[in-house]
């Protein structure tokens, strides 16, 4: 019998990271741990836009990444 058990959530902000030699856009990301499993989409958006607004890097978007343990 196998189960998936919640382990942690990470908020990942994605920024523009300049261009490659071929002129394709690169991205860079910054991940934040200690995210509540129950965090609302509204709350996550507030955090993402607030932090993105503190930085010079052009903000693209954010992802919530959840990790589950397979036990």
Give the binding site for another protein (CB under 8 A): 11, 30, 32, 34-36, 39-40, 42-44, 46-47, 50-51, 53-57
In 3D, which of 18, 23, 13, 20 has the Cα closest to residue 59?
Answer: 13
Q: CA-CA distance, 20 to 56, in Å (whole number)?
A: 19
In the bound state with another protein, the residue whose beta carbon lies nearer, of 2 and 56, is 56
Give phi and psi for 36, each to the nearest 5. Answer: -65, 140
In the bound state with another protein, the residue whose beta carbon lies nearer, of 3 and 40, is 40
In the bound state with another protein, the residue whose beta carbon lies nearer, of 31 and 69, is 31
């Amino acid at each position: 019998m196998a189960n998936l058990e919640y382990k942690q959530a990470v908020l990942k902000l994605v920024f523009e990271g300049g261009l490659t030699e071929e002129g394709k856009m690169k991205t860079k990301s910054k991940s934040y741990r200690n995210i509540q499993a129950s965090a609302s989409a509204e709350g996550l958006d507030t955090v993402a836009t607030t932090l993105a607004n503190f930085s010079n890097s052009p903000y693209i978007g954010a992802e919530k990444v959840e990790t589950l343990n397979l036990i």
